[in-house]
Structure 1
Amino acid sequence: MKAVSIFKEILLFVILVLLQVLLLNRIAVFGLAVPILYIYFLIKLPYGRNRFYVIVSGFLLGIVIDIFLNTPGMNAAATTITATLRSMVLNLFYPKNEYEDLVPGIHTSTAAFVKFTVMMVLLHQTLLFFIEAFTLFNLTSTLIRIGSSSILTIVLILALDSLSIRREKSG
């Protein structure tokens, strides 16, 4: 792993945590949709990143969010499970072992990145909201929250990735 790559990942981690805690968690569109942007960190990790590193990073990301939001273990559990399944989901949409340093993004393959993002966000949101609800009693409400939050999160992730590509090309 290159030091520059690790530094960028740490910077992305800190920025996403701060955005989530200070801004995004205060947004609830129609009282239902909450953008969960910190999952973008797991999406942007390089293809060939060590599985243990990804899982530990996912756990740390979730536990830091839990500490700030006072949600005991909910985000850590959802993010760790999502991080564990990341390589399997990644292999569905990107060629297996073709690129070790590939960082998923709109510039690598738009269709693959959108599909990968949708799958990761849906997986994470489903886990998070079912852990939060911890019941199937209000299933319709939970499904609406999953759907609306997922759509909002996916739109934000695609917009953020598009902006980062423009900045790189113009720089």
Structure 2
Amino acid sequence: MHAGPRPRTALLLMDLQQSILQNYPDGGLLERIRTALAAARRAALPVVWVRVCFRPGYPEVSPHNVRFSEVRQTGRLLESDPGSDIHPSLDVQPQDVVVTKRRIGAFAGSDLEVVLRAAGIESLVLAGVATSGVVLSTVRLAADMDYRLTVLADGCADGDPEVHRVLTEKVFPRQATVQTVGAWVDSLSG
């Protein structure tokens, strides 16, 4: 049986923004993200950055949205805030796509699906923070949308290490391949 062409894959890097990353101890996360990013570029895979931010006055934030109502009160994550930018050590390139979302998951309140479909993307490799936030929400919806998924377990971080462990070891494997950055990089050259 002929397996057909290899699915077109994109690396999806989520919420790796300066003001968000300051809430997580690095523990080598940024270095692992840079390793995955370099491997994707060598393999000519599209890179899509997803960031969360809001317009002045937060017109997208309902008072019923507990998480983002807290953000609104702090005045953080505005489009104009330099803290909303992708971390400068991650080197966003002109050919990369940067998607702005207005909710937790990468698809909610963004044009991510339009971008992926236009590029013929069928497979997503996900990394970012937080594991229990953007990664979980994106895995769930992307699986329902029939994307092939890989989660880079050590390319994600969460404020609660036990939640990260449960998600990457027990929940995500039901809908995605879960790999380390190193294993994924090795798979690209094989």
User: Shorter-normalised TM-score: what interval?
Assistant: 0.3 to 0.5
Could you tell me the TM-score, scaled by structure 1's length?
0.36
Which structure dedicates a bigger proportion of its chain to strand? 2
